[in-house]
Amino acid sequence: MKPLKVLALVDENLVPPDDWAGKDTVDQPWKTEFDVVHTLREEGHQVRVLGVGSELSPIRRTIDEFQPRIAFNLIEAFADVATFDQNVVAYLELLRLSYTGCNSRGLLLARDKGISKKILHYHRIGVADFEVFPRGRRVRRPRRLEFPLIVKSLTLDASIGISQASVVDDDERLVERVRFIHESLETDALVEEYIEGRELYVGVLGNERLQLLPVWELDFSGLPEESRKIATERLKWSLAYQKKHHIASGPAKDLPPEVDKDLASVCKRVYRNLRLSGYARIDIRLRDDGRVFVMEANPNPQLAYGEDFAESAEKAGLEYGPLLERILGLGLRWEPRALG
Q: How does residue 338 score in pLDDT terms, banded at 50, 70 and 90?
A: low
Tens-place pLDDT, residues 38-93: 999 999 999 999 999 999 999 999 999 999 999 999 999 999 998 999 999 999 99
At residue 225, the pLDDT reads 86
Tell whether the torsion through CA atoms of 199, 282, 256 and 121 is positive or negative: positive
At residue 110, the pLDDT reads 96
At residue 198, the pLDDT reads 95
At residue 323, the pLDDT reads 98
pTM equals 0.94
pLDDT at 268 over 70: yes
**Burial grade of 94 (CB within 10 A; 0-12, 13-18, 19 or more):** exposed
Tens-place pLDDT, residues 283-331: 999 999 999 999 999 999 999 999 999 999 999 999 999 999 999 999 9
Q: How does residue 339 score in pLDDT terms, banded at 50, 70 and 90?
A: low
Tens-place pLDDT, residues 183-207: 999 999 999 999 999 999 999 999 9
Average confidence score pLDDT of the chain: 94
pLDDT at 247 over 90: no
With beta carbons less than 8 A apart as the criterion, state whether 161 and 239 touch: no
pLDDT at 163 over 60: yes
Q: How does residue 26 score in pLDDT terms, banded at 50, 70 and 90?
A: confident
- Nearest-angstrom CA–CA distance, 299 and 161: 19
At residue 9, the pLDDT reads 98
Range of lowest pLDDT (127-131, 166-170, 191-195, 245-249): 245-249
Tens-place pLDDT, residues 205-224: 999 999 999 999 999 888 88
Tens-place pLDDT, residues 33-52: 999 999 999 999 999 999 99
At residue 307, the pLDDT reads 94
> Which of 283, 284, 299 shows the shortest CA–CA distance to 105?
299
The residues that bridge with 292 in the sheet, in sequence order, are 286
pLDDT at 340 over 60: no
